[in-house]
Amino acid sequence: MKKILHVAETIKGGVATVIRTISAPPEGEASNYELVYLIPHDQKKELHGIDEQQVRTFFRTKRDALSLLRFAWKMARVILKEKPHVVHLHSTFSGVIGRCVCLILRPWRSPKIIYCPHAFSFLMESSPAKQKVYSLIERLLQKVTDVIICVSQYELDTAATFGIDRHRMKLIYNGIHYKSDEPKTNGQGPIHLLFVGRLDYQKGFDVLLKAFAGVRRTDLKLTVVGSAVNEDTVDCPVMDGVEYVPWVTPAEVNALYQAADALIVPSRWEGFAMVPLEGMAMGLPVIASDCTSLPELVSHEVTGYIFPAGDHQALTDLLVNIEKPGLLDLGTQGRKVVRERFSATLMIRQTYDVYSAPSY
């Protein structure tokens, strides 16, 4: 039996969805694997459906030095105790700290190291100097990494330009389980827009608010689902037609997808976001920025609309002109695209093939 340790410094949002999805081994192979998880204590509920006996936690108040030290210390203890065959690191902070921990422990334990950045740090909007530092760190740490999972072609190609070895990288698109074909209705009433995600700079929350403020249509309603994760506080101004909802259960999110007419994804950068996949699988058209990987999923005027990342006026111009009948047609096409190209079954199979493949 092969033991897999999933490690994440934070799992709010799409990372939790990815971990839950790949926590089910390929059909008929469940007895071949034992899964263990290391996540923040206050985010245990994000792994609903997973046996709590498999979950190890550390205390995280925010992304500060003390919390990161707790994370590193607990990870070292878990590796020594659990003796995993594979350590699967999720996101960049886990990738940096986790690979350093594994390097220190190498005289005693040498698990296979799988790293999925869910968007490399050098893909972020930052200065050239910071990008050079981020890419230097990644180039150094790739030497102790067996496989780097990239979740979009954009991420893989860009990483290669920054000096990451293509032979170490493997493209595995995020996938989603089949959703029912419950049709959306072209009813009367307001157009309901939905945003689901962290309320931070990366996700373009500020772009969304500026754009919606400029629309001045009384028939548009916006529901914002999420909270800040990497910021201490976030400004959620009171606006006509805007409702703020904290993080909710998957069942509640699905109900919101079903009730909405369009999903807005105004991110500045992404690895390969799960939210648009979930929305499209429920028949929602996606109004997305053209950042990084999103055009690999959303096609302009085919499965939704694309606007320049960070351009709130361009998003406003789109929102001014959308109508329900057109949104319904785009959503129907989006559901078809997800089913054909982004299935959870394929994602799971490819991930477990990586676990079993020879080391680099």
- Tell me which residues of the chain have a pLDDT lower than 70: 13, 180-187, 229-233, 360
Q: Are 190 and 220 in contact (CB under 8 A)?
A: yes
Q: What pLDDT is attached to residue 273?
A: 83
Contacts 24+ apart (CB under 8 A), 337-341: 337/280, 337/297, 337/299, 337/303, 338/176, 338/277, 338/280, 338/281, 339/178, 339/281, 341/173
Are 2-175+343-356 and 191-341 the same fold in CATH?
yes
Residue 163 tokens, joined: 């000096």
Q: Where are the domains of the chain?
A: 2-175+343-356, 191-341
Q: What pLDDT is attached to residue 17?
A: 87
Burial of 323: CB neighbours in 10 Å, binned 0-12, 13-18, 19+: exposed
Token pair 């990586």: residue = 354
Burial of 81: CB neighbours in 10 Å, binned 0-12, 13-18, 19+: exposed
Compute CA 73 distance to the chain's CA centroid, rounded to the nearest angstrom: 26
Global confidence as pTM:
0.82
How many helices (H) and strands (E) the chain has is answered by: 11, 13
Edge-first strand order for the sheet with 220-225 is 242-245, 220-225, 191-196, 262-265, 286-289, 304-307
**Closest C-alpha to 144, from 175, 101, 184:** 101
- Rounded-to-integer distance, Cα 249 and Cα 213, Å: 28
Q: CA distances (Å), 297 to each of 138, 294, 352, in order?
A: 26, 5, 23
Q: CA distances (Å), 160 to each of 138, 295, 357, in order?
A: 11, 19, 22
- Rounded-to-integer distance, Cα 79 and Cα 92, Å: 19
Residue 337 tokens, joined: 């695209």
- Rounded-to-integer distance, Cα 346 and Cα 166, Å: 21
Which of the following CATH numbers is that of domain 2-175+343-356: 1.25.40.10, 3.30.70.20, 2.160.10.10, 3.40.50.2000?
3.40.50.2000
**Closest C-alpha to 75, from 62, 65, 87:** 87
With H, G, I as helix, E, B as strand and everything else as coil, classify residue 295.
helix
Phi and psi of 200, rounded to 5°? -140, 180
Name the fold adopted by 191-341: Rossmann fold (3.40.50)
Q: What pLDDT is attached to residue 235?
A: 78
End-to-end CA gap in the chain: 21
Burial code (b: 16+ CB inside 10 Å, e: under 16) for 110-119 equals ebbbbbbbbb
Q: What pLDDT is attached to residue 121?
A: 87
Q: What pLDDT is attached to residue 180?
A: 67
